[in-house]
Structure 1
Amino acid sequence: MLDAAGELAQHHLAQWQAEDLSRDHRTDDAAVARAKRQIDAMNLMRAELVDRVDSLIDDSLPADPHASLHTETLGQLVDRLAVAWVRSRRLAEVAGRDAALRSDARRAMTLLTQLCDAYDDLLRDLRDGRRRLPAWRTLKRYGTTR
């Protein structure tokens, strides 16, 4: 699962850069189109990685059908953690001496920390049988006709 989480973080970092490029008013239309196709390919890989995390958990974690249902899968939560990590890192990199950007970077770090705490809480609840995960598989496949 850690490998998939690391790959998710790398995908989100590359996607952040591709999205920055696609939104830059100096980028020509052909480069924007290439970036958008690249983003679709990254979203497809991201969805596959989320499904891989969920498959690993489904195979190893018995669920009590009477436990309270969590709103997202563990793969989806790991994906959000990866996004939060990239956001926090990127905002910290550009903050410099700009007070507003430093404030955004601190807020991003706070959100990442809160999400990490929620992840830890969920793992304890799953282990102790207080929570169960939804049965979910990605249905949207980016960059395909499906």
Structure 2
Amino acid sequence: MFTSKANKIFQQVIEKYHIINTVDQPFENAYGESNLIEHLLYRKCWIDTVQWHYEDIIRDPEINPVAALKLKRQIDASNQDRTDMVEYIDSYFLEKYKDITPKDGATINTESPAWGIDRLSILALKIYHMNEEATRADASDEHRAACQKKLNVLLEQRVDLSTAIDTLLGDIESGDKYMKVYKQMKMYNDEELNPVLRSQK
């Protein structure tokens, strides 16, 4: 199944990041572009992992305001990278299934495959960090028990989401569903669409 590969890659990325465990570390993709989907999945989860830690840092109540503004800009850029990677992954599936003719009565899904994969990547990060809390030696028994309950829910959620994604891909391949991808039309980064940026020109 596709998600078995995706989940393994996401785990690989998260473990690799935490060896050094800093947002400033260099990125090196473990997969070349000849292995396109693996390359895209690895890059996607790396972006998500760095942004996860950006979000931790910016919530420091003692953060320097200048540093916070710089970090906000980094988060904005990361969000754009994340969206771009989702669109690259959807482009991969559009190309893969381009010769599939949808059956009469085929339906569209509420989200594209790549947006489901986006949620699966974030879920991998939630599982990793909730497991850290559930096994943290300096935490109370109550804290660990509460986090273990949450971890169990997240693990169940990953099974359900993985099944849903694999089912969607199977339905597209069989012609029971069809893909239609809308590009994300983010307005706040566009100098022509954001009135604040436009006024600075």
Deviation at 1:63, TM superposition (A): 4.7
Aligned counterparts of 1:52 and 1:141: Cα–Cα separation in 2: 20
Residue identity opposite 1:134 in structure 2: K
Aligned counterparts of 1:106 and 1:141: Cα–Cα separation in 2: 38
Gaps of 5+ in 2: 1-36, 136-140, 194-201
After TM superposition, the structure 1 = structure 2 runs for residues 79-118 of structure 1, keeping only pairs within 5 Å, are 79-96=118-135, 97=141, 98-118=144-164
- Larger mean Cα displacement after TM superposition, 48-57 or 104-113: 104-113
- Larger mean Cα displacement after TM superposition, 101-110 or 134-143: 134-143
- Larger mean Cα displacement after TM superposition, 11-20 or 106-115: 106-115
Alignment correspondent of 1:76: 115
Aligned counterparts of 2:62 and 2:89: Cα–Cα separation in 1: 38
Checking the alignment, whether the CA contact within 8 Å between 1:44 and 1:142 is kept in structure 2 is: no
Change (3 A) 1:88 1:132: same
Alignment correspondent of 1:64: 102
Task: Classify the secondary structure of the residue corresponding to 2:184.
Answer: coil
CA deviations over 1:100-141 (Å, ceiling 9, x no partner): 122122222221121111111111111111111223112116
Higher normalized helix content (fraction of residues): 1
Cα RMSD, aligned residues only: 1.9
Quick one: percent identity of the two aligned structures?
A: 25
Aligned counterparts of 1:79 and 1:34: Cα–Cα separation in 2: 25
- Larger mean Cα displacement after TM superposition, 132-141 or 102-111: 132-141
Checking the alignment, whether the CA contact within 8 Å between 1:68 and 1:132 is kept in structure 2 is: yes
Deviation at 1:8, TM superposition (A): 1.3
Aligned counterparts of 1:118 and 1:137: Cα–Cα separation in 2: 22
Checking the alignment, whether the CA contact within 8 Å between 1:125 and 1:131 is kept in structure 2 is: yes
Deviation at 1:12, TM superposition (A): 1.0
- Larger mean Cα displacement after TM superposition, 2-11 or 41-50: 2-11
Deviation at 1:143, TM superposition (A): 4.4
Deviation at 1:95, TM superposition (A): 2.1
Aligned counterparts of 1:142 and 1:76: Cα–Cα separation in 2: 21
1:32 aligns with 2:71: no
CA deviations over 1:2-50 (Å, ceiling 9, x no partner): 2212211111111110001111213222222222111111111111111
Deviation at 1:142, TM superposition (A): 6.5
Alignment correspondent of 2:47: 11
Change (3 A) 1:63 1:49: farther
Match of 1:21 among 34, 57, 60: 57
Normalising to structure 2: TM-score of the pair?
0.66
Question: Once superposed, which parts of structure 1, at least 4 consecutive aligned residues long, lie more than 3 Å away?
Answer: 141-146
Higher RCO, 1 vs 2 (CA within 8 Å, ≥6 residues apart):
1
Alignment correspondent of 1:45: 81
